[in-house]
Amino acid sequence: MDCCRLCACVCCIDFKIRTIELDGKRIKLQIWDTAGQERFRTITTAYYRGAMGILLVYDVTDESSFNNIRNWIRNIEQHASDNVNKILVGNKADMDESKRAVPTSRGQALADEYGIKFFETSAKTNMNVEEVFFSIARDIKQRLSETDSRAEPQTIRITQPDQTAGASQAAQKSACCGS
């Protein structure tokens, strides 16, 4: 199983690092998956502050997960930076139409309402999963390059302890989602 699939982990906040190559450059994505659980709503407000991109994922077979997207968008508007990139993702698109509770047109309409991109995916079959990650990475890269080109040259120095190695090891030891 690809560890970077859009998983529906029910036991914890899942953290993964995924490196992709985009336009000849290596881009490191840190993926924090709360699986939309209500119990993580207050914890995740801290994650919003540093987020450059957010994937809002709902289950196309579950009307309530779709209806909850508006709540998550309100949280993002309250806690994330104004220019954070967002993509709406309807997962489980591989399911039989008789099990679908949210038609593609409703997902697209919601994305249009908020002015964000929309994809339907299947974590099970890997349909459109790569496209979602590459799309958000491209959007962030473009936004940052536009911001850099408008800004006056300046030097910013940020010093933080490198916690990546420890977090990565903890994520690998997690039993969540079969990791």
Condensed to tens digits (0 to 9), the pLDDT of residues 18-40 reads 888 888 888 888 877 766 555 55
d(CA 145, CA 176): 36
Report the pLDDT averaged over residues 151-166: 51
CA distances to 51, 81, 159 from 46, rounded to whole Å, are 9, 12, 19
Q: What is the pLDDT of residues 49-95, one digit of tens each?
A: 778 898 999 999 999 999 999 988 998 898 888 889 999 999 999 99
- What's residue 5's pLDDT? 41
The owner of tokens 């030097």 is: 155
Q: What is the pTM of this model?
A: 0.72
- What's residue 31's pLDDT? 79
Left if phi > 0, otherwise alpha if psi is -120 to 50, otherwise beta: which for 117?
Answer: beta
Confidence band, pLDDT 50/70/90 cuts, at residue 169: very low
Phi and psi torsions of 127, nearest 5°: -70, 125
Closest of 37, 43, 39, 46 to residue 7, by C-alpha: 37
In the predicted structure, residue 173 carries a pLDDT above the cut 50:
no
Averaged pLDDT score across all residues of the chain: 78
Confidence band, pLDDT 50/70/90 cuts, at residue 163: very low
- Identify the DSSP state of 176: G
Closest of 53, 78, 66 to residue 139, by C-alpha: 53
- What's residue 32's pLDDT? 75
- What's residue 39's pLDDT? 58
- What's residue 165's pLDDT? 42
- What's residue 109's pLDDT? 98
23 neighbors 141 (Cβ within 8 angstroms): yes
Set out the domains of the chain in order of their start, with CATH numbers. 14-144 (3.40.50.300)
- What's residue 157's pLDDT? 54
44/70: higher pLDDT: 70
Q: What is the pLDDT of residues 107-121, one digit of tens each?
A: 999 999 999 999 999
